[in-house]
Amino acid sequence: MTQDEFKSLFGSIGDIESCKLVRDKITGQSLGYGFVNYSDPNDADKAINTLNGLKLQTKTIKVSYARPSSASIRDANLYVSGLPKTMSQKEMEQLFSQYGRIITSRILVDQVTGVSRGVGFIRFDKRIEAEEAIKGLNGQKPLGAAEPITVKFANNPSQKTGQALLTHLYQSSARRYAGPLHHQTQRFRLDNLLNMAYGVKSPLSLIARFSPIAIDGMSGLAGVGLSGGAAGAGWCIFVYNLSPEADESVLWQLFGPFGAVTNVKVIRDFTTNKCKGFGFVTMTNYDEAAMAIASLNGYRLGERVLQVSFKTSKQHKA
C-alpha cells in the first residue's frame, strides 16, 4: 500500500490533518502500519467503527487509537501454539485476559476449511502483562485441551529472511505489470518465505486467492478488452444501483479484497447529500479490476443488484 492509497482510504471517512505510512529506514518499504490524525475526533471514532476489521487483499486491518510509544508497551506480542482446534478467538482472549489488557488477538485458520490451526497471537497492553501470561500459561492445559500449550514471545522475522521477503515483494519489476495468473509460482514461494520467517506451517494456504482457470476465462466473463477502462492512475470502474445510504466505506469493503484500490467516490445529490445511486472505484491492476467486475457485477447488496463495469467501456455495460 502506498502513502496515497493509505490517505485515500482514511480520507474517505473525514478531513485528515496528517497521516503517515511508516517505512523501513533502509529499504524505504512500508512496514504495514501507520498513523492518521483527524480534524474532528468524531471522525476518528467513525474510522475505527467503519474500517477496523476491513479485509484488504489478504490482510485484515486493525484500526485503533494510537498509544504514546514507551519501553513498557514494546515487545508485548505472544505466540501461542497447541491450542485445541475447537477453541475460538473469544475463548482464547478469556483465557489470557486474566493477565492484563489485550490489544489484539488472532487465531490462525486453514484458508480452505476455516478450521483453527491451533496457533494464535495475543498482544498485551504492556510487556509485563505478557511476561505474567507466559509464567501462568506456558506448559499448562486449558480446559478441554488434551495437550499443554506453548506460550512465548513472538519472534520478529530474521534480518536475512525479512530481506528475502522485501526483495521478493518489491524488487520484482514483473510484479508491477503481470496479473495474478502470472504469479501462481511466486505466491507459492512467498508463502514459503513467510513460513520460514514466522515458523508457521501452512501447506493448504499455498492455494492462491485466485483460480488460474477463472482468470484464464476472465476477459470473457467480464466482457472487456484491454482497450477500455484505462485511466492515467489506474483502471476506473463504474458501480451502479447503490442505495441512497451508501458511502465510500461500502466501496472499499466491496473492492478491497480483489486488489489495490487507489480511490473510491460515491456520487451524491447536492441538496440531500444522499448517494445518487452510483459511484466510481479506481484500481491499479487490470487483472484485479476485471476480476472484481466479474465477481461483483450482479452481486446483491441488500435489496439491490449491482451493475459493475469499466467506466469508459459503455458498450460492455451489463
One-letter identity of residue 103: I
pLDDT for position 172: 40
- Mean predicted confidence (pLDDT) in 213-231: 35
Rounded to whole angstroms, the Cα distance separating 79 from 188 reads 24
Q: Write the pLDDT tens digit of every residue in 134-173.
A: 999 999 998 878 899 999 998 654 444 444 544 444 444 3
- Mean predicted confidence (pLDDT) in 36-56: 90
Q: Write the pLDDT tens digit of every residue in 176-189.
A: 333 443 343 443 44
Cβ count near 10 (within 10 Å): 22
Q: Write the pLDDT tens digit of every residue in 110-132.
A: 767 878 888 888 989 899 999 99
Mean pLDDT score of the chain, rounded to an integer? Answer: 75
What are the backbone angles phi and psi of residue 201, rounded to the nearest 5°?
Answer: -85, 130
Residue 52, H or E segment: none
Global model pTM greater than 0.75: no
Q: At what angle do helices 184-198 and 159-170 cross, to 10 degrees?
A: 160
pLDDT for position 260: 82
Rounded to whole angstroms, the Cα distance separating 219 from 213 reads 12
Rounded to whole angstroms, the Cα distance separating 261 from 89 reads 30
pLDDT for position 200: 39
Rounded to whole angstroms, the Cα distance separating 256 from 262 reads 10
What are the backbone angles phi and psi of residue 172, rounded to the nearest 5°?
Answer: -90, 110
Walk me through the domains of the chain, giving residue ranges and CATH numbers.
Answer: 3-61 (3.30.70.330), 71-157 (3.30.70.330), 235-310 (3.30.70.330)
Q: Write the pLDDT tens digit of every residue in 286-312.
A: 888 888 888 888 888 888 889 999 886
Q: Which residue has the higher pLDDT, 231 or 241?
A: 241
Residues ≥6 apart with Cβ < 8 Å to 89:
105, 106, 107, 120
Q: Write the pLDDT tens digit of every residue in 244-288.
A: 988 888 898 888 878 788 889 999 998 998 999 999 999 888 888
